[in-house]
Amino acid sequence: MSKVVADISMSLDGFVTGPDPGPLAGLGRDADGLHTWAFADDAVDREVLASATDATGVVVMGRRTFDVIDGPEGWSDTVGYGAGLAAVPPVLVVTRTPPAEMRLDRDRFTFVVDGVRSAVAKARDLAGGRDVVLMGGGALIRGAIDAGVVQELRLHLAPLTLGGGTPLFAEGSVPRRFRQIHVRPSAHAVHLTYRID
């Protein structure tokens, strides 16, 4: 059975984007350092990235994340899911309104209009026993954890503070216990894996 994993990079002060993220600004102001680890030559970073990418059967993302990866500075033939590995798993996008037009190959993307629970259920059916990975954004991951549909949380803790942006957890999130199962430090991040009880 597919495991549902939320996988996201986060600053030391708890943000998954900097201020003013968007299609033309990616992760927002001063936030490129969140993903330094994904493009680094560090052996630990490369192994973490390759292992997660290889295990992924289906990706789930929110509409704001989709708008960034479909934007002019988004995914390409050389940079995509898995950063420079540019893997091509199917992607489900949780949105109220699918886009009329898009830059990326529409055949690879399915737009799910009935919420994150439905998207995760559909992704599990498509994943063929491999992982369903929720890659963002913060609101989608927070909502999926609050809905109880995520079994594992992978955080890539970047050594920077952003002072604002999109928090992973916000006031009003459902209180929940996490069980730490893996910690791997590298030169560019601390890779943390938690089971969600």
Q: Give the residue-averaged pLDDT of 155-161.
A: 98
pLDDT single digits (tens) 17-66: 999 998 888 899 999 999 999 999 999 999 999 999 999 999 999 999 99
Q: Give the residue-averaged pLDDT of 73-83.
A: 93
| pLDDT band at residue 71 using 50, 70 and 90 as cut-offs | very high
pTM > 0.85? yes
Q: Write the CATH number for 56.
A: 3.40.430.10
- Distance, in Å, from the CA atom of 90 to the CA atom of 51, rounded to the nearest integer, reads 18
Q: Give the residue-averaged pLDDT of 123-151.
A: 95
- Distance, in Å, from the CA atom of 27 to the CA atom of 34, rounded to the nearest integer, reads 8
Looking at the 3D structure of the chain, how many domains does it have?
1
Which amino acid is present at 27? L
- Domain with 11, as residue range(s), is 4-196
Q: Give the residue-averaged pLDDT of 107-118.
A: 96
Would you give the distance in Å from CA 14 to the centre of its chain? Answer: 15
